[in-house]
Amino acid sequence: MKTIRYELHDGLATITFDEPGSPVNTMCADWQRDLTTVTGLVVRDKALIKGIILASAKSTFFAGADLKGTMRLKASDARQVYAEIEQTKKNFRTLETLGVPVVSCINGSALGGGWEVALVGHHRVAIDHPKIQLGLPEITLGLIPGASGITKMTRLLGLQGAQPYILESRLFSPREALDLGLVHALAIDELSLRAAAEAFIGAHPQARHPWDEKDYKMPGGTPSNPKIAGMLSVAPAVLRQKTQGLYPAPEAALAAMVEGAMVDFDTALRIESRYLAQLLVSPVAKNMINAFFFDMNAVRSGGSRPKDFPRFVPRKVGILGAGMMGAGIAHAQASRGIETVLEDVSLENAELGKSYSHRLTQARVEKGLMSIQEQLGLLDRILATDHPKDLKGCELIIEAVYENREVKAQITREAEEQLAPGGFFASNTSTLPISSLAKASRRPEKFVGIHFFSPVDKMKLVEIIRGQRTDDQTIARAYDYVLALGKLPIVVNDSRGFYTSRTFGTYVMEGAAMVGEGIPAPVIENAAVQAGMPVGPLAVLDETSLSLAVHVLDQTRADFKAEGKVYEPGQGELLVERMVKTLKRAGRASGGGFYEYPAGQRKRLWVELKGLFEDPRLQWDLQEVKDRLLYRQSVETARCLAEGVLTSAHDANIGSIFGIGFPAWTGGALQFIYGQGIEAFERRCDVLARRFGRGFLLDGAARDAIRRFQPQY
């Protein structure tokens, strides 16, 4: 056997998972074959076996499915996949029903299929360490726990109790697992882990799973219970409201839970297998696996970080500007133990920025999630000041002031003097090219863009922008800084709007353009949500301020003029300009934009939009509206690849999902292209370009870039 070791000594059969050439154990093809082999050996030696111990030779217990193999599956493979799942479960059931106790020695994290392997044990012992994670994250990858995870967790916790751990993929520590009854004992190290397993086997020679006992009853009741039936009558509708029907995995998981709860254990396992086999060959699963496993791992492991530079550990960082963004960055830093200097033009402004951290932490204190001592410690790490000299010794200074080139240049020159030797400077601009801002710096090679998203405490993505003269060491240190905050860094090259703002701008402006064409505003907003975007484009424009969009437009015109060029705004930009300059609708902060905000009531679309813009004679198609909103962003992503603004697929996909809310079911703005099929995507773009203009035009460079960055598995 290649991935499993089998040893039998003094009646104890030890099955040790040890996949060669891999840091973790996975359910690869070799493992599946080896599991069948080792199960046969156990059956052969049944008369000699008093108990079975499941163990791992890795630092983790088991990582789960072989996702690279999953990415290679085709729709025609579903029948074979079903047979393989059933064979794995047959092996599990053979071990569980052999008539001897089985103990899982969980020495590290056990996620997905790894937790399902752990559930084979009648008794589960885990090392008590807070960094160990257990649970079933399959839903986040477009799959379901189909190697008996749904069936067993439902029977262990009940239909209601299991939902957070199956439908929401909630993970848990060994101590939490002990409280839930999912782990039966904790150990301090691997020696005591083994000792606990042997002790259990000696004391329980005929252990069985609860569902194999004659008097077993499902916790909370089956679907025939009136209380459970009442909950289940609304659950599908609630779930559909969340998923918009775009994510088949949660719906399949709920169906497998409920259908499985109405039948015997072995029939429930088959139901689960059928749902999993369908999902494993589905495009949505592949999209989500690509983004949330492969692309995410590439980002977290430094896929875009320049190599050969030592890890930078930020200790003291200054923030210029204590507005909403600066205050959010200060909180993110202080919550990670970084000494923070929050500087503004007045002490009052700086203290107001610091009070943001007090509000956030106070809410946690009141919920019992943070002690008062922890709160005070965090606040003590933020120095609010109006004295630039308090920035002295900062390893990094980030300016987070108004989007004005002259203001940014002035404070850059003033603050750079305070940097520690070897320190670097960053701008949090969301639109202005970094190379132009770096002209104010005495050391442009140490000037970088670090673009946070609002609200900082909730948004995970941070976009690192390399200027024309930014050196590799500065990019590496910026990358390390973002990781130190627990956020996701992507690295892009300089351009107007960079990647995220530029691409997101196409989304909101396409929405505005459709308003100008006469498409009803409610259709546009609802189509966006139905396509998977978190918020409609008009609502986003209101929140971010239409006046800001016009300010960016004016700045762009001025920049083009300075270069001897003429900027030609799109139809969406012209409509937004009209909203602000003619109709005096500047956005939510100014009282209203595309929406009205009546006091004490829910916002609603501005009633005048219908008379001003809507064309009752226009024949619009809902799918076409959805396509325009999604395809326009993917086209811009392809252009960013062709122009070298983006240099990796993982930055494109993670940036689009976590920065601009591109639908997770697509796997990101670039994976959306591959999910549609490159040729099909190009044909659709050709149709959209003929009907709706150059925004959908894919030139030869963009088409080449799409093919060049296509992932291979």
Whole-structure pTM value:
0.92
Helix (H, G, I), strand (E, B) or coil at 125: strand
CATH class of 4-281: alpha beta
Tens-place pLDDT, residues 410-440: 989 999 999 999 999 999 998 889 999 999 9
* Architecture of the domain spanning 316-494: 3-Layer(aba) Sandwich (3.40)
Supply the mean pLDDT for the chain: 95
* Residues 138, 249 contacting (CB under 8 angstroms): yes
Q: How far apart are CA 7 and CA 53, in angstroms?
A: 10
- 644 has pLDDT over 90: yes
- DSSP H or E stretch at residue 318: strand 316-320
pLDDT at 504: 94
CA–CA dist 159, 162 (Å, integer): 6
CB 339 within 8 A of CB 316: yes
Compute the radius of gyration of the chain from its Cα atoms. Answer: 28
Closest to 248 measured CA to CA, from 236, 259, 258, 260: 236
DSSP result, 450-505: EEE-SSTTT--EEEEEE-TT--HHHHHHHHHHHHHTT-EEEEEE--TTTTHHHHHH
Write out the DSSP string of 388-431: GGGGTTEEEEEE---S-HHHHHHHHHHHHTTEEEEEEEEE--SS
Closest Cα to residue 147, out of 216, 66, 87? Answer: 87
Which residues sit opposite 103 in a β-bridge?
Answer: 53, 123
pLDDT score, position 57: 97
Average pLDDT over residues 487-495: 97
pLDDT of residue 563: 87
* Residue 47 CB-density burial (10 A; 0-12 exposed, 13-18 middle, 19+ buried): exposed
- Give the relative orientation of helices 248-261 and 149-166 as an angle to the nearest 10 degrees: 130
Domain coordinates in residue numbering, the chain: 4-281, 316-494, 501-644+648-708
Taking only the tens place, the pLDDT of each residue in 293-307 is: 999 999 999 999 999
Structure-block tokens of residue 576: 């937004």
Mean pLDDT, rounded, for 373-401:
96
Cα 127 to its chain centre, rounded Å, is: 28
**Beta-bridge partners for 56:** 17
Helices (H), 45-119: 67-71, 78-96, 113-118
What is the predicted pLDDT for the residue at 648? 97
Here the tokens at position 377 are: 């410690």
- Sole residue written with tokens 């970084």: 338
Sheet containing 51-56: which strands, arranged edge to edge? 4-9, 12-17, 51-56, 102-106, 123-127, 185-187
The structural architecture, per CATH, of the domain 501-644+648-708 is: Orthogonal Bundle (1.10)
Token digits for 437? 């801002």
Phi, psi of 519, deg, nearest 5: -70, 135
d(CA 101, CA 570): 70
Contact (CB, 8 A) for 514 and 524: yes
Largest Cα–Cα separation, the chain: 89
How much is the pLDDT for 505? 94
Q: Which residue, 387, 415, 632, is CA-closest to 514? A: 632
Please tell me the predicted confidence (pLDDT) of residue 267.
Answer: 98
pLDDT digits (tens, 9 = 90+) for 37-86: 999 999 999 999 999 999 999 999 999 888 999 999 999 999 999 999 99
Residue 552: per-residue pLDDT: 85
Whether the pLDDT of residue 403 is over 80: the answer is: no
State phi, psi for 129 to the nearest 5 degrees: -140, 130
Q: Are strands 110-111 and 64-65 parallel, antiparallel or unpaired?
A: unpaired
Three-class SS of residue 107?
coil
**Helix segments in 244-295, DSSP class H:** 248-261, 265-280, 283-289
Q: Are strands 461-466 and 26-27 parallel, antiparallel or unpaired?
A: unpaired
57 contacts 22 by C-beta, under 8 angstroms: no
Cis amide prior to 310 (ω within 30 degrees)? no
What integer pLDDT is reported at residue 73 of this predicted model?
Answer: 94
| Token pair in block for residue 524 | 């546009």
| pLDDT tier at 14, thresholds 50, 70, 90 | very high
Q: What's the whole-number mean pLDDT along residues 648-664?
A: 97
Supply the pLDDT for residue 544. Answer: 87
Report the alpha-carbon distance of residue 403 to residue 544 in Å, rounded.
13
Q: How far apart are CA 645 and CA 491, in angstroms?
A: 9
pLDDT at 506: 96
pLDDT in tens, 236-268: 898 998 899 999 999 999 999 999 999 999 999
CA-nearest of 6, 269, 302 to 150 is 269
pLDDT value, residue 696: 98
**Each residue of 575-620: pLDDT tens digit?**
999 999 999 999 999 999 999 999 999 999 999 999 999 999 999 9
Percent with pLDDT over 90 in the chain? 91
pLDDT confidence of residue 29: 93
Q: Average pLDDT, stretch 449-455?
A: 95
Give the residue-averaged pLDDT of 351-371. 96
CB 298 within 8 A of CB 648: yes
Residue 713 has pLDDT above 90, yes or no: no
Q: How confident is the model at residue 507 (pLDDT cuts 50, 70, 90)?
A: very high
Of 699, 677, 671, whose CA–CA distance to 686 is shortest? Answer: 699
pLDDT band at 230 (very low <50, low <70, confident <90, very high): confident
